[in-house]
Structures are given as structure tokens and as C-alpha cells.
Chains A and B, each alone.
Chain A
Amino acid sequence: MSTTQPHLASHFNSPQQQFDSGKLGIWLFLTTEILLFSGLFCAYAVYRSNHPDIFAFAHQYLNKWLGALNTLILISSSFTMAWSVRAAQLNQKNLCTTLLAITILCGSAFLSVKYIEYKNKWQEHLLPGPRYNPRELPPAEAEALDDQSRDRKGATWEGGAASTLPHGRSLTVAALIPPTETFRAPIGPAGLNPAWVDNDRSSRFSMSWLAPTPSLEPEPNNTHIFFGIYFLMTGLHAIHVLVGISLITWLLLRTTRGDFSPQYFAPIDFTALYWHIVDLIWIFLFPLLYLIGNT
């Protein structure tokens, strides 16, 4: 039996039984994945319903075009992944290899865009907890403004720069990690004119378009909670993408080795299901985090 069915484990009676068991197993696993994320969705729902102002304000720091790009990338990768299952079923080995490779590339592209976004958030101090401090300045500027900012209080929409930093952090301490000029959100007590930012479309190649401008409204308390939820949700999702890429790389190696056939393609099928769930979760994350109305 083992010669005719090289992939049939000894405790199964038939390849069909083995395949069905695996399929049920992966669906149960995906249920637990959804439930794992559901805790975060639940936290999101609780905080958004209790503090809609935080979400309406803070989501403006996210770049919806990058989010949309990532959505497009992941949906395309789901398509190539689904097609690779079909290719394996039809014994089209080269096509299957190509499609798996494209899926890996898409996954990597997603993570690259995510990296750019994270790096920007890091440099803008758009971080959870006490590290949240987007209004801070490079040390030189901070020093120069130490006196001026108090005079400017009320003149700009922030309504009081240094003195209202969350958790009373002083500017000089908070500015220990100087953000680079190009990535800084063009807002804040540095005296940048919001109008200039709004009208400026030519600066997109200097990457300052990565950090959109919050509209003119007072910042609610505890805005950092949004970024806590943002990083937890997208971070846990990114880990899942990373796992998916590793799994697909493993599939790619096995495909080139010729492991799969129309009789045995279960690993591709199951990994594809996992990849679709990862995609699906992002499809919920994108509108929930990036596309919040201002009302």
C-alpha cells in the first residue's frame, strides 16, 4: 500500500479519508484564527463605540492610499494562490511554481509597504502608550521653540503645543529620537502652515505624503489607544502574513521537487485556505482602521 500511496499515513484507510481529515482540521484551525482576531475586533468595537472621537481623529494619520495598495496586493495574491491550487490539480507544475512565486512576491510587497508605514509611525512617534507623541520636534527645533511655543499657544489648531503633550512628557526628553525631516508629519508647533500642507501635492516624491494631516479639530484624550489597537491588529496580521510566506516558500520547494500531483495536493489546498483567511482579515482591517468617517 505504501508503494502505491506514498503520502498516505498508515492510520488512514484511503487518501480520500486523509484529505477529508486534513480539510476539516484546517477549517477548525481557521476558526480558531478568526476567534483569535475576534478579541482584537471586540476591543476595537468597544473603544470605537465608547470613543468615536479618538478614532475619527487618529485615523487621519494613516495613509489610506497605502492601505488601498496593500488591499489590492493581497487580493491579487489570493487570486494567484487559488489558481496555484487549480494548477496543482491539473498537474501544471511550471504554472503552479510561477503562481506560488508571485504569491510570495505579493506577500513580500505587502510587508514592505507595511514596513514603510510602520517606519513612518515610528519616526512620527505615533506609537502606543506613553511613547505616543506625534507633535515632537528635532532637538534643535525643540530647543528653539521651547520659548516660542508658549506664545503660539492657541494660534494654531493644536491648541497648545508642548504643555499638552500626553502624559506630561517634556519636549527635550521626548525628542531623544529625532525624526527625519522628510518623514515628519507636516504639522505641529514648528510653525508649518496647515494650508501649505493641504495644497501641496508636489511633495509626494519627498515622501511627506506618507503622513497625512489631521484636520483642524482638537485632539481627544488617549489618542494613543487607537495606535495601540492599530499596531496590535496589523502587527498580528503581519505575523500571519510572514507565516504564510514561509509556508508558501515550503510549498514552492516541494513543487519544484515534484511532490504534488492531481492525487496529492492537500498541502497547497490547505495553505491556500489559510492565505485566504489572512487576506480576509485584512479586508476587514483596511476599512475599520483606514476608512473611518469624520462625522
Chain B
Amino acid sequence: MTTANYLTHPRGIRSWLLTLDHKRIGIMYLVSTLAAFSLGGLFAMIVRTQLLSPNGAIFTVAKDYDHYNQMFTLHGAIMIFLVLIPGVPGALGNFVLPLMLGARDVAFPRLNLFSYYLYVSGALIVILSIILGAVDTGWTFYTPYSSDPDIGSRDAVSLMVFGIFILGFSSILTGMNFIVTIHKLRPSPPNGMTWFRMPLFLWSLYATAVIQILATPILGITLLLLIMERTLHVGIFSPRFGGDPILFQHFFWFYSHPAVYIMILPAMGIMSEVIPTFSRKPIFGYHFVAISSLAIAIIGFLVWGHHMFPNGQSTLLSTIFSFLTMCVAIPSAIKVWNWLATMYKGSISLKTPMCYALAFLFLFTLGGLSGIYLGSLSLNVHVHDTYFVVAHFHFVMFGGTLMGFLSGLHYWWPKMTGKLYNENPARLACALIFLGFNTTFLPQFLLGSHGMPRRSATYLPEFAPYHILSSLGAGIQLLGFILAAAVLIHSLFRGRQSPPNPWGAATLEWSCPSPPPHDNFSTPPLVGDPYDHANLVWISDQEGYRRSQEPEARSQKSQT
């Protein structure tokens, strides 16, 4: 392809760093989050290596256990605030959203770039806090552990918390941008994008953005208060100065529970794109999938108390929170059943994105079901703060969000880079990650139900087989990730040129060339049903799909 695309128009490092193009900002987010993912993965590997032996394989003496605490804190904080929250919306969302919508850019391109640099600054401050003295409070920063400067060495808490405060604003600005773009930049009728012609990925990004806007400011003020507590001792969270540590937990989870839906909803949106495309069937129950995203966003705000069942919450409050927690399972289950019904009697092709999607379905379902266990009051008291919880949230966050992210990455990779990767090694990587994941986290359910507490640097010898199995799984995952990265990087240099529509998807981003031109669409695209694959036919000499009906002339014009 000789025509200029967004990667080559214009050239030069400066044109990248100061770009207002949503596609380039998406790519920059992608590179940054993948770098952060590698760092977080490194800390995870240290944690799993330590747990190879009951007395610790790395930090063997008691005075070094603080370092173990630092490792899991950094793993958690980096994975959540630097990878899972900005990952799908920042990287894939930024790239895909205007293309799917048929718009030329997001509503506020400068704000978009600003939000990226806020992300980078926040990330650098977090990394600086690691260098200056790692935080060991756990990613939840519970007071008084985080607020009293005298307990241990927690000088870096303020710095890291400030970094996360900045990351929060980056997240808010991305959310604002998405909501305004979806409301105001849809191509206008008669051939335009109506709400219920929107691809479901956009619905889920919209629901995510609502949570980002309504929940993240609470995290902002909570972290600000924590910094104030540490510097001025204002007496709001620290019991030493008359404050209430439980209030911190309420504030923190009021953000951080909705935040898990910030992480999972975009991944669910990716499922709603990938599964219909590779089943060659329209999505089953479009309206239900769309509205269930909003339902999750709304109910997700009302369940934060289930993190605090044993923490002195009144029984009535706990009962209500438990009930609402069960309720949030309903829209999630609606989605899962609709995806299954989409696949039913479909013509399923097991391309790499679909493999990850199937992994998502399996893992997310297990994660979600174990969430029902945790949401029930009596069982929660038994497994609270054990490896059961660790396994549960890794199943939903890693098995859910990250599998969704990988699925989306492989799905849109040809669109982003214009290159096709090798299917078989990529499928093998997926299989390794899936196998490694289950080897790592299934034993942790058993560990937890047998009473192994989380965040412990050592353990009783009878837990050793499970822990060793778990660490072995982490090693398999590492191999899988290295292979996946190698496949994708290889495709950048040796990959075949991708056609505009390699998968036969009906959403708009596949109607422009791969990679897309600088301004996406020279003329507003004709918007049809996003899941109508019927008139897409395989063109064998292009190894891609084309529309057999009238929009064909338009797509041909934009290619030349």
C-alpha cells in the first residue's frame, strides 16, 4: 500500500509525541500499558518464585518479608492502575472508537493527548516511588497502615498515591471524551449511526466511561485525603488523630468496586465483537447485551460494602450489599448466555481472537461464579482475605479483562499495524497462557478454602504442593506471553499485508483500509447493521472479505 496511512502521515518522532490523532494516541497507550504489564508481570514472577518454598525461596529471613510485601503491592498497583484500567479503553478504545462510530476523531483530541501524558506522568511517579522506597501496604492502601508514618518504612506512600491520583484524572478525561464522542459525533441520519446501530463495544465503552466519570473523582479525593492525613494529620482516616479507618475503606471501595467494572466492561465489549464475527452470526439479543452494560455500571455502584463484611459493618447493611452483589451477577450472566447463544449453530472459526474469547468465556464464568460464593455472607467470613479471593479476582481480572484485551489486540492488530500475524504460533501462545493460567489459579481456590491467608510471605508445609503447582503455572504463562509477544513483533517485520477486512466483520472500522488513513473516512460511511455478515463475501486473491452489495463502491473509492 503506497498511500499515506496514519502511521506514516506525517513522519518523525515529534509528529508522534504531539499527535492529536486518536489512532496514534491509542498506539502510544498500547506501548505504555504493555510496558507496564511487563513490569507488573516481573513482580508477579518474584511473588510466585518466593512462594516455591514454605519458608520463602527469595526472602528467607523475617526482616526481608517487607520486601515480599512490596512485591505484591507493586504487582497489584501496577496491574490495576497502569494496565487494567487504562488498557482496553486507552489503547484499544482510543484506536477503535471513532472508527467504529464513523467519526474522524474523538471529540476533544487535545484533551486526549493531555490524558495520555497524565497517564505517563502518573506512571513515572509510581515508578519513582518504587525507586525511592517501595510501598508495602497492598494496592488498597488501607489506613492506618498507610496513614501512620511511624509503622515501618512507608515514605513512598504519598508519592505513589499522588501518582495514582494523576492516573485517575487521566482516566476521567478519557471517559469524558468517549461519552461526548458517542453522544455528539455519530454520523447523522438518514444513513447515520443510531444508538441501536452502535457496535456493542461502543456500548460497553460508554458504560465504562460513565463509571470512570462518576467513580474516579471519589478515588481522587480519597487519595488526596490520604496524602493530607499523612502530611497534616487532619484526623479523617487515621485513628491516631481521631479519624475513622473504616471510612477510608468505604471511600476506597466506593471507587474501587466500580473500578473492577471499568476493567471488565470493555473486555465484555470485545467479546461482543469477536464472538459474532468468528461465529458468522449476528449477536444474539443485541438490546439485552447493550442494556446489560449499563445495568452493570449502575448496580456496580451499589455493591462496594461486600469488601467489608467482616469489618464491623452492620448486619442489615451487609445483607443489603450481599443481595445487590447477587443482582450484579444477572446482567453479567445475560451477556454470557447471549454469547453462547450467538455461537450456537454458528459457523465457528477458531482464529486466535476467538481462541482468547473462548478462554475468556470459560475463565470469566468460573470467576463470576466464585464471586457469587464470595458475595454470600457466611462463606465470605470463612474465605475473606484468603487465596480464594486472590483466585477469584485473578479469574475475573486476568481471565476476564486480560483475555479480552488479548483477544481484542489480536482482533484489531491487522487494522492497527496493517500486518497479519502467524495464526498457529499465536494459537499456541493462547493455549499456553490458558493452561498456565489454570495451573496457577485453580489451586489457589483450594488453598483459600483450606485457609491459606493471602499476602503472606511464608506458609505451612501442607500447602506446599498447591503453591508449587501454582508457581509452575506462572512459568507456563510467562512462556505463553513471550511467545505471544514474539508472534506479534515478528508480524511487524515479516507479516503479510492485511486486507481491509481479514475477519469478515461488519463494523465500520473494517470498511477503511488497514492501517486506516490519517482522517479515517474521507466521506461519512454508510452505517448498516453492525452484525450483518450476510453480504460479506470472501475474496480469495485478497485473503479478505468484501461487501457484495452497494457500499462496495464506497470502500473501493477510499482504498485508492
Binding site for B on A (CB under 8 A): 9-13, 17, 20-21, 24-25, 28-29, 31-33, 35-40, 42-43, 46-47, 127-131, 221-222, 224-225, 228-229, 231-232, 236
Contacts and interface: CB of A to CB of B under 8 A. Distances in A.
Contact of A228 (B104, B176, B213, B232): B232
A31 B217 CA distance: 9
B251 A228 contact: no
A228 B217 contact: no
A231 B247 CA distance: 19
B234 A36 contact: no
A37 B225 CA distance: 11
Contacts of B232: 127-129, 131, 228, 231
Contacts of B233: 128-130, 228
A12 B524 CA distance: 12
B172 interface: yes
A102 B177 CA distance: 33
Nearest 9 interchain pairs by C-beta: A228-B234, A129-B233, A39-B221, A222-B242, A35-B217, A11-B105, A11-B104, A36-B217, A225-B235
Nearest to B243: A225
B63 to A, nearest CB: 31
B109 A11 contact: yes
B107 A229 contact: no
B311 to A, nearest CB: 16
Nearest to A130: B233
B103 A11 contact: yes
B236 interface: yes
B357 to A, nearest CB: 32
B214 to A, nearest CB: 6
B234 A231 contact: yes
A129 B241 contact: yes
Counting chain A CB atoms within 10 Å of each CB, which of B111, B184, B224 scores highest? B184
B273 to A, nearest CB: 24
Interface string B228-249: 1000111110000111100100
A46 B172 CA distance: 26
B139 interface: no
A128 B243 CA distance: 12
Contacts of A21: 107-108, 180-181, 183-185
B242 A232 contact: no
B338 to A, nearest CB: 30
B241 A224 contact: yes
Counting chain B CB atoms within 10 Å of each CB, which of A29, A36, A38, A127 scores highest? A36
B179 A24 contact: yes
A228 B235 contact: yes
Contact of A232 (B108, B188, B225): B225
B218 A39 contact: yes
Interface in B239-266: 241-244, 247, 251
A196 B234 CA distance: 33
Given A28-B213, A130-B233, A10 B104 contact: yes
B216 interface: yes
Contact of B251 (A39, A221, A236): A39
B222 interface: yes
30 contacts: A10-B104, A11-B104, A11-B185, A21-B107, A21-B184, A21-B185, A24-B184, A25-B108, A25-B177, A28-B179, A28-B213, A31-B213, A32-B176, A32-B216, A36-B217, A38-B218, A39-B222, A40-B225, A42-B251, A43-B236, A128-B235, A129-B232, A129-B235, A224-B242, A225-B236, A229-B234, A229-B236, A231-B234, A232-B225, A236-B224
A17 B184 contact: yes
Counting chain A CB atoms within 10 Å of each CB, which of B103, B221, B222, B243 scores highest? B221
Q: Is the interface of A mostly helix, strand, loop or mixed?
A: helix
B220 interface: yes
A33 B242 CA distance: 27
A42 B236 CA distance: 11
Given A36-B220, A39-B218, A129-B241, A20 B236 contact: no
Nearest to B241: A129
A160 B183 CA distance: 64
A210 B232 CA distance: 24
A28 B109 contact: no
Given A225-B234, A225-B235, A40 B180 contact: no
Contacts of B213: 28, 31-32
Nearest to A9: B109
Contacts of B234: 128-129, 225, 228-229, 231-232
Contacts of B104: 10-11
Contact of A46 (B188, B218, B224, B244): B244
B176 A29 contact: yes
Contacts of A43: 225, 236, 247
A131 B232 CA distance: 9
A166 B111 CA distance: 47
Contacts of A12: 185
Given A128-B233, A222-B235, A224-B242, A24 B221 contact: no
Nearest to A128: B234
B160 to A, nearest CB: 19
Interface string B176-209: 1101110111001000000000000000000000
Nearest to A228: B234
A28 B178 CA distance: 11
A36 B176 contact: no
Contacts of B181: 21
Contacts of B107: 21, 25
B242 A37 contact: no
Nearest to A47: B236
Nearest to B214: A35
Nearest to B183: A24
A129 B177 CA distance: 40
A131 B241 CA distance: 11
Contacts of A232: 225, 228, 234
Contacts of A47: 236
Nearest to A16: B184
A135 B179 CA distance: 53
A20 B107 CA distance: 10
Contact of B217 (A10, A32, A128): A32
B233 to A, nearest CB: 3
A197 to B, nearest CB: 28
Nearest to B242: A222
Contacts of A11: 103-105, 109, 185, 519
Contact of B180 (A25, A35, A36, A229): A25
Counting chain B CB atoms within 10 Å of each CB, which of A24, A224, A228, A232 scores highest? A228
Contacts of A129: 232-235, 241
Contacts of B184: 17, 20-21, 24
Contacts of A37: 221
Given A21-B185, A43-B236, A31 B214 contact: yes
Contacts of B251: 39, 42
A225 B242 contact: yes
